Amino acid sequence: MVHALREAHRVLKPNGILIDLRPALVHRRVGTERAGRFRQLGRMYESLDDDRKANRSVALVLRAGLFNVEWRTQFDCRRVMDSLADFRTFVDEFLTLERDFPPHDWLIQRVQRALETRGRAKKIVVRGPLMMNVLRKRDVGA
Amino acid sequence: MGIEIDPEQNEVRALKRVTNWRRERVVEIGCGDGRLTLRLARLGAFVHAIDPDAKLIRTARTKLPRRFAKRIRYHVGQAEHLNHANESFDLVVFAWAL
């Protein structure tokens, strides 16, 4: 990750901006939503190790004087799905990304049960904030 | 319908606060199927979008609207070895990629 940040520094014009946009270091909340109301069914248990590693890499290049922090922010992000199959696809993606991702069948079953209860159509919603680091390139020679 | 990410476009709102994207030269790293790339192009940026997954790049190319054909270039590539000259871009965006 540090190599990638150094490479970004190389291709940036003087005073250029690097934006690091990614999910915040928080376990995602899963639930159903109907008429804009979110009902939480559980939390995911992602490892978050890669996110910690990314934070360390950013800290390293800041310490090395390659960038200055211009702005940091965090905001809500929803992932909206219509069907259980979509949610399965979403969960399965973590299996390919994280070696130690634990089984989430319990959560899939909870979602399935919630979808099967009577009532108006629901959406499956995964909520988890995104964070954004905005870094300004520093001239290393300066 | 699949998975809709950030329907409220909070991401775009935050990005708009960073800079005026019009005509800015941008490298987007980890573009995937081009979801964020299209949003950046709509803001007016010229985007070189990179992802190591050739299948995702193929998908992104097929989903590229004609009106953005001159604003977006998709490449298979690695963040650690960008195939670009020194000091050639105004912005680099790591899109859920660090």
A24 shares contact with chain B (CB less than 8 Å): no
pLDDT tens digit sequence for A24-71: 999 999 999 988 899 999 999 988 888 999 999 999 999 999 999 999
Q: What is the pLDDT of residues A82-107, one digit of tens each?
A: 999 999 999 998 888 877 888 899 99
Predicted local confidence at residue A119, as pLDDT: 67
Residues 38-97 on A with a CB inside 8 Å of B are 54, 57-58, 70-71, 73, 75-82, 86, 89-90
Nearest to B93 among A4, A19, A82 (CB): A19
Say what percent of chain B tops pLDDT 70: 99
Q: What is the CATH number of domain B20-94?
A: 3.40.50.150
Strand partners, A32: A39, A124
Domain boundaries, chain B: 20-94
Q: Which amino acid is at A52?
A: R
pLDDT tens-digit series, residues B18-73: 999 999 999 999 999 999 999 999 999 999 999 999 999 999 999 999 999 999 99
- The predicted pLDDT at position B38 comes to 96
Which tokens in the block code for residue B73? Answer: 């270039």
Which residues, in sequence order, are bridge partners of residue A67? Answer: A137
Sequence ranges of the domains in chain A = 2-137
**Looking at the predicted structure, is the pLDDT value of residue A137 above 60?**
yes
Query: Cβ–Cβ of A11/B91 closer than 8 Å?
Result: no
**pLDDT tier, A117 (very low <50, low <70, confident <90, very high otherwise):** confident
Residue of A nearest to B84 (CA): A11
Q: How far is B37 from chain A (nearest CA, A)?
A: 13
Which residue of B29, B87, B96 is in closest CB contact with A4?
A: B29
Strand-pair partners of A131: A22, A74
State yes or no: ipTM above 0.85. Answer: yes
Cβ-contact B49, B34 below 8 angstroms: yes
CA quadruple B55, A28, B49, A63: dihedral sign: negative
CB B37 within 8 A of CB B47: yes
